[in-house]
Amino acid sequence: MKTLCFLLLLTVPAWAQPMQSDCRGSGPAIGTALMAADGTITLSFNGPIMKGALAYHRGDPQYQRMLSHVGGLQPGQKKPIPPFC
């Protein structure tokens, strides 16, 4: 039974994985993302609903998710933040 469960986990179809990118075109940007020279990602929000900033350092558990959400960043690069689903 354990082997079967393990094999099922290995064969998770792409549609069953989180679909973060599905809503990227669903509205205007909600702020900007900037990557510092040390890789820190700073998200700045300036909309009517949320104002402020969040920073994600390389060791943060949400770092890769944020990096993926903005479509990747290089040090010094700034990009708009698409809406979250």
Cα gap 41→55, rounded to integer Å: 6
The pair of three-digit structure tokens given for residue 15, joined into one six-digit string: 């549609």
The structural domain count of the chain equals 1
The pLDDT tens digits of the residues spanning 5-43 come to 333 333 434 433 444 445 556 678 899 999 999 999 999
CA–CA distance, 82 with 85 (Å, rounded to integer)? 9
Task: Please write the tens of the pLDDT for every residue from 27-83.
Answer: 788 999 999 999 999 999 987 778 899 999 999 999 999 999 999 999 999 999 998
Please give the residue range of the domain that contains residue 38.
Answer: 28-85
